[in-house]
Structure 1
Amino acid sequence: MNILILGAGGREHTLAWKLKQSEKLKQLFVAPGNAGTQEIAMNLPIKPTDFGAIKEAVLEHDIHMVVVGPEDPLVHGIADFFASDPDLKYIPVIGPEKKGAALEGSKDFAKRFMNRHGIPTAAYQSFTAEMLQEGFNFLGTLKPPYVLKADGLAAGKGVVILQDLDEARAELSRMLLDSKFGEASTTVVIEEFLSGIELSCFVLTDGENFKVLPTAKDYKRIGEGDTGLNTGGMGAISPVPFADESFMNKVKDRIILPTIQGLKKDKIPYKGFIFIGLIKVGDDPFVIEYNVRLGDPETEVVLPRLKNDLVELFQAVADGKLDSVELEIDPRSATTVMTVSGGYPGSYEKGKDISGLESIKDSVVFHAGTANKNGSVVTNGGRVIAVTSLAENFREALKKSYENVERIKFDGMYYRKDLGFDL
Structure 2
Amino acid sequence: MNILLLGSGGREHALAWKLVQSTHCDQLFIAPGNAGTASVGTNVALSPTDFPAIKDFVLTNAVGLVVVGPEEPLVKGITDFFRKDENLQQVVVIGPSQYAAQLEGSKAFAKQFMERHNIPTAAYREFDASNYEEGVEYLKQHALPVVLKADGLAAGKGVLILDNTAEAIAEFEQMIKQSKFGDASKKVVVEAFLSGIELSVFALTDGKSYVILPEAKDYKRIGEGDTGLNTGGMGAVSPVPFADASFMQKVEEQIIRPTIKGLEQEKFDYTGFVFFGLIKVGNDPFVIEYNCRMGDPETEVVMPRLDADLVELLLAADNGTLLQLQVDQDPRVACTVMAVSGGYPGSYNKDIPISGLDTQLPSDSLLFHAGTGIKNGQVVTAGGRVLCVTSYGTSVQDAVSKSRKALENISYEGIYYRKDIGYEF
TM-score by length of 2: 0.98
> Of 375, 378, 395, which aligns to 2:377?
375
Task: Give the whole-Å Cα distance in 1 for the aligned partners of 2:288 and 2:125.
Answer: 14
Q: Which residue of 1 aligns with 2:333?
A: 333
Matched residue type, 2:408: E
Instruction: Count matched residues.
Output: 423
Query: Would you say the 8 A contact 1:34–1:370 is kept in 2?
Result: yes
Matched, 1:114 2:94: no
Corresponding residue of 2:415: 413
Alignment-mate amino acid for residue 234 of structure 1: M
Structure 1 counterpart of 2:244, one-letter code: D
Task: Write the mapping of 1:16-415 to structure 2, written as runs, cut at 5 A.
Answer: 16-359=16-359, 360-362=361-363, 363-415=365-417
* Structure-2 separation of matches of 1:392 and 1:358: 26
CA distance in 2, matches of 1:111, 1:422: 30
Amino acid in structure 1 at the alignment position of 2:378: S
Query: What CA distance in whole angstroms lies between the structure 1 residues aligned with 2:357 and 2:398?
Result: 21
Using the alignment, how far apart are the partners of 1:358 and 1:61 within structure 2?
A: 32
State percent identity of aligned pairs.
61
Q: Aligned partners of 1:376, 1:320: CA distance in 2, in Å?
A: 45
The gaps in structure 1 that reach 5 residues or longer are: none
Q: Deviations over 1:346-403 (max 9, x none)?
A: 1110000111122132310000000011221100000000100001111110110010
The amino acid across from 1:96 in the alignment is: P
- Conserved? CA contact 1:74–1:98, under 8 Å: yes
Kindly provide the amino acid, as one letter, of the partner of residue 66 in structure 1: V
Q: CA deviation at 1:249?
A: 0.5
The question of whether the paired residues in 1 share the 8 Å contact of 2:96 and 2:271 is answered with: yes
The CA distance in 1 between the partners of 2:389 and 2:140, in whole Å, is 45
Structure 1 residue 93: Cα displacement: 0.3
How far does residue 65 in structure 1 lie from its aligned partner after superposition? 0.4
Q: Deviations over 1:122-175 (max 9, x none)?
A: 000000023222111111222211110000000111101111110010000000
Separation in structure 2 between the aligned mates of residue 143 and residue 208 of structure 1, nearest angstrom: 38
The one-letter code sitting in structure 1 at the alignment partner of 2:195 is: S
Over aligned residues, Cα RMSD in angstroms? 0.8
Distance 1:311 1:105 in 2: 26
CA distance, structure 1, for counterparts of residue 69 and residue 103 of structure 2: 16
Mapped contact 2:127–2:189 kept (Cα < 8 A): yes
Q: Distance in 1 between matches of 2:207 and 2:127?
A: 32
| Equivalent position amino acid for 1:89 in 2 | Q
- SS, match of residue 302 in structure 1: helix
- AA aligned to 1:243 is A
The equivalent residue for 1:13 is 13
2:133, 2:286 → 1: CA distance?
29
CA separation in 2, counterparts of 1:413 and 1:163? 33
User: How far apart in 1 are the matches of 2:92 and 2:297?
Assistant: 25
Q: Do the aligned partners of 2:208 and 2:263 also contact (CA within 8 Å) in 1?
A: no
CA displacement at 1:422 relative to structure 2: 2.3
Contact kept in structure 2, 1:199 and 1:217, CA below 8 Å:
yes
SS of aligned partner of 1:260: helix
Counterpart CA distance in 2 for 1:346 and 1:106 is: 26
Q: Output the CA distance in 1 between the equivalents of 2:349 and 2:388.
A: 18
Distance 1:284 1:141 in 2: 27
Distance 2:150 2:64 in 1: 36
**Partners of 1:271 and 1:356 in 2: CA distance:** 40
Q: Secondary structure at the match of 2:280?
A: strand
